[in-house]
Structure 1
Amino acid sequence: MTEQEQALKVLRDQIDSIDQQIHRLLNERAKCAQQVAEVKQKYQGEQDAVFYRPEREAQVLRRVMERNEGPLPDKEVARLFREIMSVCLALEKPMRVAFLGPEGTFTQQAALKHFGHSADSAPMNTLDQVFREVEAGAAHYGVVPIENSTEGMATHTLDLFKRFNLRICGELELPIHHHLLVKDSAEPVIKRIYAHQESFAQCRSWLEAHYPDVEHCFVNSNGEGAKRASEDPQSAAIAGEMAVELYQLDVLERNIEDQPDNSTRFLILSNQEVGPSGDDKTSILMCARDKPGALYSLLEPFHRHGISLTRIETRPAGQGGWSYMFYIDFEGHADEPAVQKVLEELESSSVELKLLGSYPKAVL
């Protein structure tokens, strides 16, 4: 053995020993997860037992990042632990998560980021189906986009919150990088481009500069667009990295989004209420009549009770005597006294108030 080989052998032996310890501890953690499931089923009942607790997961991930000493970055360590929790949760009860399909969409990528790869992700044809699947109990959770940093709020999602009685139990933010994908990059002849209308909007300037005369074909999702491009050699699709391998496409151009820091915020839908995690947000829908000072009367209680708003969006209510619908995100949990006072005041002064949920702020 050379001196280098001897030094490497010592380090590799150490790695093997550490791997054995990690493996043993992982199995010990998995056994604890199984025991947690048994306790929940015993005291909550097999049908009513709640296995996924968003507030508990957020607390665990925050502690992981707080105690991390490197050299691994905080968020990378947290992602490793999320996958560990995903595997252990699957031992307790496999989670079925609905998302806007087909496979290869950014919404699926968001679902995997939030729940880990051990969750059973189920593609739906429309956002309406995602809401229906969760409300009916056919899926435990749903993942839907709510706003993009370039194009603003996903208004269709807001409208669906009016129609369905679901709770928001989590959120996450996903960096969005759009690629121009083709079946064969050797000699591409592009006569049409498939994408969701939001993706066209987020890549508007780039497309005008490079493909000003090519037909834009709107589809329900970028996954569907990628699938069509894989079957049409004279077309291209705008989609993310997941679609490249899934539909065996070539990347003609990378990162064609107009804003390099483009990102989308997603919400997690469920039928369950979420307890306080220590760092939470609350979302509400309010309908109010069109009268002088209407907006001020809605916002004033937040100022008086020292609660910070993180988002407010106005939409036409579109029914009865209601004139406007307000979607509001703010800091705090509905169980906190200050938040309870604000909600009581708003409920007494509005046509209708709908609490969409309190949930942990995004950790990753």
Structure 2
Amino acid sequence: MTEQEQALKVLRDQIDSIDKQIHVLLNQRATCAQRVAEVKQQYQGNEIAVFYRPEREAQVLKRVMERNKGPLADKEVARLFREIMSVCLALEKPMRVAFLGPEGTFTQQAALKHFGHSAQSAPMTTLDLVFREVEAGAAHYGVVPIENSTEGMATHTLDLFKRFNLRICGELELKIHHHLLINDNTDPELITRIYAHQESFAQCRSWLEANYPRVDHVAISSNAEGARLASLEVGAAAIAGDMAVDLYRLRILERNIEDQSDNSTRFLILGDQDVGPSGDDKTSILMCAHDKPGVLYTLLEPFHRHGISLTRIETRPAHQGGWSYLFYIDFEGHADEPQVQKVLSDLEASSVELKLLGSYPKAVL
């Protein structure tokens, strides 16, 4: 055995020993998770036990990153722990998560990033069905897009918050990288049509004009559906992400064709539970008001007076007759905090229709 082989053997033996310790600790953690479930069931009484605690998981992931010393990056370590928590939570209660399908969409990728791969993915054909599935209790949670850094707010999602009585339980951001995909039988020089969701066409507009100015753009319900169609048709291409490549057996003709390199989408987690404070939270509300002089000042003045920072405000027609508008507002803080309670109280006293959509931890990953 050479000196190099001897040195490598020592290191590999150390790795094997560490792996055994990790394995023992993983099973100890899983056993502890099972006991948590038993305690919840024992003391919950007739109420349904809540197994998923978004504020608790956010705190755990933040502590993981804070104590990380490297060489692994903070977020990489947090992703490992995210999967450990996902596996352990599945021992307590397997979660069914609804998302806008079919399989292979960015929304499914967001669901897996937030809940881990041990959650059961449930693809829905429309955003309406995602909301309905969660409200009916057929899915424990739902994942919906709310805004894109390039194209702005997902207005249909905002409209659905008015119709359904659900809570926002969390948020996450996902980097969006679009690829141009084709099947093995398609000649790159003979592409006649490209399938994609209309939002993806918008996010790749300049690249498409420069590279495929005369090719038909066919807008469909999701990028994953476009990838499925492109996998079956000669002469077709699709704009989609990494998940669609293996799922539909396509190859990447061009990578990262989005016009903005920092293109990202923010997603919200839908549920029916109130989430406790995590220490670093956001609150979302929906307000309805008539269009009259000073209405925007009336809505925003309490935030300034009580020192609450807004992170997002969006206006939508209320569709209630007359000139009424919905205001979707995100701001820092939790509904249990005194200053936030003062803001909400002032808004309610102004005879404004107010709907608290939820307080939830800020995105960690």
Q: TM-score, normalised by structure 1?
A: 0.98
2:268 corresponding residue in structure 1? 267
Structure-2 separation of matches of 1:254 and 1:148: 19
1:33 corresponding residue in structure 2? 33
1:223 corresponding residue in structure 2? 224
Paired letter, 1:5: E
Question: Do the aligned residues in 1 keep the contact of 2:178 with 2:240 (CA within 8 Å)?
Answer: yes
Corresponding residue SS for 1:258: coil
User: CA offset at residue 146 of structure 1?
Assistant: 0.2
Question: Do the aligned residues in 2 keep the contact of 1:286 with 1:350 (CA within 8 Å)?
Answer: no
Structure-1 separation of matches of 2:350 and 2:323: 13
Paired letter, 1:81: F
Pair 1:347-2:354 in alignment:
no
2:288 corresponding residue in structure 1? 287
Structure-2 separation of matches of 1:186 and 1:21: 50
2:158 corresponding residue in structure 1? 158
Question: Do the aligned residues in 2 keep the contact of 1:191 with 1:214 (CA within 8 Å)?
Answer: yes
User: CA offset at residue 214 of structure 1?
Assistant: 1.3
Structure-2 separation of matches of 1:303 and 1:243: 45
Question: Do the aligned residues in 2 keep the contact of 1:287 with 1:322 (CA within 8 Å)?
Answer: no
**CA deviation map 1:6-44 (0-9, x unaligned):** 111111111110000000000000000000000111111
Corresponding residue SS for 2:184: coil
Structure-1 separation of matches of 2:45 and 2:113: 30
Question: Do the aligned residues in 2 keep the contact of 1:347 with 1:353 (CA within 8 Å)?
Answer: yes
1:24 corresponding residue in structure 2? 24
Which segment is superposed worse, 104-113 or 187-196? Answer: 187-196
1:304 corresponding residue in structure 2? 305
Flag the 1:359–1:332 CA change in 2: closer, same or farther, 3 A: same
Pair 1:56-2:56 in alignment:
yes
Which segment is superposed worse, 108-117 or 228-237? Answer: 228-237
Structure-1 separation of matches of 2:6 and 2:45: 58
Aligned runs of 1:1-364 on 2, under 5 Å? Answer: 1-45=1-45, 48-184=48-184, 187-188=187-188, 189-321=190-322, 323-364=324-365
Structure-1 separation of matches of 2:209 and 2:324: 38
Paired letter, 1:159: D
Structure-2 separation of matches of 1:217 and 1:40: 51
- Unmatched runs of 5 consecutive residues or more in structure 1: none
User: CA offset at residue 185 of structure 1?
Assistant: 6.9
Structure-1 separation of matches of 2:216 and 2:139: 37
Flag the 1:26–1:94 CA change in 2: closer, same or farther, 3 A: same
Structure-2 separation of matches of 1:337 and 1:100: 37
Question: Do the aligned residues in 1 keep the contact of 2:186 with 2:235 (CA within 8 Å)?
Answer: no
Structure-2 separation of matches of 1:320 and 1:339: 31
User: CA offset at residue 320 of structure 1?
Assistant: 3.6
Question: Do the aligned residues in 2 keep the contact of 1:185 with 1:251 (CA within 8 Å)?
Answer: no
Which segment is superposed worse, 189-198 or 243-252? Answer: 189-198
* Aligned pairs, number: 364
**CA deviation map 1:142-200 (0-9, x unaligned):** 00000000000000000000110000000000000000111127623211111111001
Which segment is superposed worse, 350-359 or 97-106? Answer: 350-359
Structure-2 separation of matches of 1:187 and 1:325: 49
Flag the 1:334–1:321 CA change in 2: closer, same or farther, 3 A: farther
Structure-2 separation of matches of 1:219 and 1:167: 29
**CA deviation map 1:115-146 (0-9, x unaligned):** 00000011000000000000000000000000
**CA deviation map 1:51-82 (0-9, x unaligned):** 00000000000000011111111000000000
Corresponding residue SS for 1:330: strand
Question: Do the aligned residues in 2 keep the contact of 1:322 with 1:351 (CA within 8 Å)?
Answer: no
Question: Do the aligned residues in 2 keep the contact of 1:315 with 1:325 (CA within 8 Å)?
Answer: yes
Question: Do the aligned residues in 1 keep the contact of 2:99 with 2:130 (CA within 8 Å)?
Answer: yes
Structure-1 separation of matches of 2:196 and 2:186: 22
Question: Do the aligned residues in 1 keep the contact of 2:194 with 2:236 (CA within 8 Å)?
Answer: yes
Structure-2 separation of matches of 1:237 and 1:350: 49
Flag the 1:45–1:216 CA change in 2: closer, same or farther, 3 A: farther
Corresponding residue SS for 1:272: coil
Structure-2 separation of matches of 1:356 and 1:16: 49
Question: Do the aligned residues in 2 keep the contact of 1:148 with 1:154 (CA within 8 Å)?
Answer: yes
Which segment is superposed worse, 40-49 or 115-124? Answer: 40-49
Which segment is superposed worse, 56-65 or 321-330? Answer: 321-330
Structure-2 separation of matches of 1:95 and 1:14: 37
Question: Do the aligned residues in 2 keep the contact of 1:185 with 1:250 (CA within 8 Å)?
Answer: no
Which segment is superposed worse, 181-190 or 65-74? Answer: 181-190
Instruction: Give the CA RMSD over aligned residues.
Output: 1.1
